[in-house]
Amino acid sequence: MITVIAVDDEPLALQLIADYIRKTPDLVLAGQFENPLEAAQFISRNHIDIVFTDIRMPGLTGIEFTRSMVNGPVVIFTTAFDKYAIEGFKLDIADYLLKPFTYEEFLTSVHKAERMLRSVAKPADETPPDNEFLFLKSAYKIKRINFKDILYIEGLKEYVKVYTIHSAKPILSLSSLKILEMKLPSDKFMRVHRSFIVNLQKIDTVERSRIVFGKAYIPVGDQYKSRFQEFLDRNFL
């Protein structure tokens, strides 16, 4: 079963989503919240797979709410405003539902979220501890990418760009940073920004909260600074 919560400050919109969730097989409604702060506290104490959230809400917007959930649930935005779509996909959300939406549209979003959940849910024996590579589909080909060759990865809407030591031209693949973050070894790679994952073993220079890879400057986002600073402190002479 897939545990789901709904967050919306409009009671009628919240009830509609809750009803859709209840009538969908394999979905379990774990909670519905008009206050995103209460939803954030609930997520911190409970395992949640999917979150449906509005964007324009008092106290904490849906975008701020999503940013606060590092390695959290899969998110689907539900909103009456399409101007936030680009920002949403930068946050690796599963889908963007424009109000009013039908149950059929709701199900399509659920299926997208389920595919994302399956992509990150790896059995323990699926990837051996000594695995040092992954395969990515790019331009109708499947390419093997060795971890040691990756410099950094950039998220761009529903695509990722993988920059390697062998080519100035990145490998473009239909995927998300959230999926790659789960597949890459955490002792070698770190998400330092909502749009970037870096290979810790390839870092030569850090300048003013930016990681320098040749002519590329990777910013370290505010919510990732403390973790990145811990990495620097552990390796500082």
pTM over 0.75: no
Residue span(s) of the chain under CATH 3.40.50.2300 come to 2-120
Cα–Cα dist 93/113, whole Å = 8
| pLDDT 10s digits, 58-76 | 888 888 888 887 667 999 9
Residue span(s) of the chain under CATH 2.40.50.1020 come to 133-234
* Top mean-pLDDT range of 25-34, 54-63, 110-119, 174-183: 25-34
**Max CA distance (Å), the chain:** 58
Quote the radius of gyration of the chain (alpha carbons, Å).
19
**What is the topology classification, in CATH, of domain 133-234?**
OB fold (Dihydrolipoamide Acetyltransferase, E2P) (2.40.50)
Instruction: Say whether domain 2-120 belongs to CATH 3.40.50.2300.
Output: yes
Cα–Cα dist 221/193, whole Å = 5
- The H-assigned helical ranges of the chain are 11-22, 36-45, 62-67, 85-90, 103-120, 177-183, 225-234
